[in-house]
Amino acid sequence: MSSEFKKNHVVAIDDFTVDEIRTILDLAEEMTPIVEGKKINKDFEGKILATLFFEPSTRTRLSFEAAMKRMGGRCIGFARPGTSSAKKGESLADTIRVAAGYADMIVLRHPQEGAAQLASKFSDVPVINAGDGAGHHPTQTLLDLFTIRKEKGSISDNHIGIAGDLKYGRTVHSLTKALSMFETEMTFISPPSLRMPKEIIDMLKRKGVKFQEVKNIEETLSNLDILYMTRIQRERFPSDEDYKKVARSYHLEREMLENSKDDLKVMHPLPRVDEIKADVDETPKARYFEQAANGVPTRMALLKLLQEV
Amino acid sequence: MEGKEKKIKITPIEHGTVIDHIKKGQGMKVLRILDLVDREIDSIVSMAMNVNSSMGKKDIVKVEGKELKNEEFDKISLISPNATVNIIRDYEVIKKHRVGLPDFAKGIVRCKNSNCITNQSEPVETEFEVTGEDPVKLRCTYCDREMTGEEISENVI
């Protein structure tokens, strides 16, 4: 089962091959009955996962802890840097070496880019990157891919619209890189000032991926199989007025969905602010809460594969 | 006359290293990159800037009594990829190297990204993959940020 998986650590989505991604998603599917409480699993009995969160993150931390506990394991760690010895000036390298002596695996969220890469050099147990500053967040991308596959039957052959802050959003960068490994078409929906960075556009051109860039959702909504919404942050704009003007055109409400395909699925990494109106939640097209829940089986699969390496 | 002038400006050395064909204006950076500016050393170090050559202006650095090692060539290549390193013994050039870019540059340059983990107090050397030759481009293996041109010379350790 895990013959395709040879990783000791998980730092970035780019480190995975398509086969490795498939292996993770296949296993995540097998984990679903355990998450639903239909099957009991004790694979991690006696094992400890350290969740070191130098930056707060509710969903990521809770879903890693849920994943570990669903397999009979236990968790140690901290949710804020104030409760760790980093506050006393300890280096990350030392914190990691100490935690590696206490736990069988480490999940790390850190405000600095490259933190997970550094941690992987100092740890003799697997390190999983749960977000490093503006850098990578590979498990978010894996659960996004899992959601697309679960909702649509496959990742390939979908037209995926990605909307919002495409310039600074690490989630959309990782997702785009990952989708480019499959046969998909992409449409990037953003204000001109927040377009996808040139290096990602160049990468897509090099790989011959079909894509377009547009300025508003309605222009393209009727063509899409998946609409992946992200938050546009106020601090990216010079004034409140500029922000409000832009934010209005990246807003999805129920009425707009009338012009979409019947089987369109709307995703969002959450938290959302007001880019998706609450009236969308009740439609079968809204899949963002299921997407968040998919974080558990996906992370279970990853923990299992890393433990077996 | 020209030949005589040349001799006055760049006197030969008995033993040591002459780094020639340094890109104009980069001589000081070469000295810094080789840690020849602040360090206490016995060698006499001299530099000529803005020297005429068949390929335009260049800088030249001479280090008496010290033969540069291969890893030091790598450092020079990041600043001035066309430089040549001449090892001198008894006034004769016994080895002439064209510096070449390494695949990876370790511990030579600081990452320009102030939020990169290597810019905190962590016990690691910086590490860059050389992703471009002309101009030289470096990618931080920790935070993925790319650096080129002045960004590199400004961040030499």
Tell me whether residue B6 is in a domain: no
pLDDT exceeds cutoff 60 at A233: yes
Tell me whether residue B4 is in a domain: no
Q: Are B54 and B116 in the same domain?
A: no
Distance to chain A for B88, nearest Cα, Å:
41
- For residue range A48-96, list pLDDT tens digits in order: 999 999 998 889 999 999 999 999 999 999 998 776 666 678 999 999 9
Residue B1: per-residue pLDDT: 43
Q: Are B94 and B115 in the same domain?
A: no
Residue B10: per-residue pLDDT: 62
Residues of A taking part in catalysis: 59-60, 88, 109, 137
Q: Are B55 and B128 in the same domain?
A: no
Per-residue confidence band for B4, with pLDDT thresholds at 50, 70 and 90: very low
Q: What mean pLDDT, rounded, does chain B reach?
A: 86
For residues A18-46, average pLDDT: 96
Q: Are B42 and B86 in the same domain?
A: yes
Q: Are B24 and B89 in the same domain?
A: yes
Last residue of a domain, one of B98, B117, B133: B98
Q: Are B72 and B114 in the same domain?
A: no
Chain A interface test: which of B120, B128, B141, B142 (most A C-beta within 10 Å): B142
Q: Kindly report the CATH class assigned to A2-136+293-308.
A: alpha beta
pLDDT exceeds cutoff 80 at B3: no
For residues A288-297, average pLDDT: 97
Q: Are B51 and B94 in the same domain?
A: yes
Residue B115 to residue A134, Cβ atoms within 8 A: yes
Q: Are B119 and B84 in the same domain?
A: no
pTM for the predicted model, two decimal places: 0.87
Q: Are B64 and B21 in the same domain?
A: yes
Confirm or reject contact between A273 and chain B (CB < 8 A): no
Q: What is the spatial distance between Cα B99 and Cα A246, in angstroms, rounded to a whole number?
A: 51
- For residue range A84-118, list pLDDT tens digits in order: 666 678 999 999 999 999 999 999 999 999 999 99
Q: Are B45 and B76 in the same domain?
A: yes
Check residues B9 and A243 and name the one with the higher pLDDT: A243
- For residue range B120-155, list pLDDT tens digits in order: 999 999 999 999 987 889 999 999 999 998 898 888
Q: What mean pLDDT, rounded, does chain A reach?
A: 93
CATH number for the domain including B110?
2.30.30.20
Q: How many domains does chain B have?
A: 2
Residue B8: per-residue pLDDT: 47
φ, ψ (nearest 5 deg) of residue A247: -55, -35
- Pick from B116, B121, B123: which is nearest to A114 by CB? B116
Q: What is the spatial distance between Cα A273 and Cα A271, in angstroms, rounded to a whole number?
A: 7
Last residue of a domain, one of B68, B98, B128: B98
Q: Which residue has the tokens 């006359």?
A: B1
Residues of the domain holding B142: 104-155
Tell me whether residue B9 is in a domain: no
- For residue range B87-123, list pLDDT tens digits in order: 999 999 998 888 878 899 998 899 999 999 999 999 9
Residue B120 to residue A134, Cβ atoms within 8 A: no
Residue A17: per-residue pLDDT: 94
Distance to chain A for B119, nearest Cα, Å:
9
Last residue of a domain, one of B71, B98, B125: B98
Chain B nearest-CA residue for A121? B124
Residues 6+ apart with CB under 8 A from A205: none
Residue A88: per-residue pLDDT: 72
Residue B7: per-residue pLDDT: 47
Distance to chain B for A248, nearest Cα, Å:
32
Q: Are B41 and B93 in the same domain?
A: yes
Confirm or reject contact between B141 and chain A (CB < 8 A): yes
Residues of A in contact with B122 (CB under 8 A): 91-93, 118
Residue A3: per-residue pLDDT: 60
* Domain A138-292 grouped into CATH 3.10.250.10: no
Check residues A170 and B70 and name the one with the higher pLDDT: A170
Chain B nearest-CA residue for A95? B122
Domain residue ranges in chain A: 2-136+293-308, 138-292
Residue A83: per-residue pLDDT: 64
Residue A121: per-residue pLDDT: 97
Q: Are B20 and B55 in the same domain?
A: yes
Residue A111 to residue B144, Cβ atoms within 8 A: no
Q: Is the ipTM of this complex over 0.90?
A: no
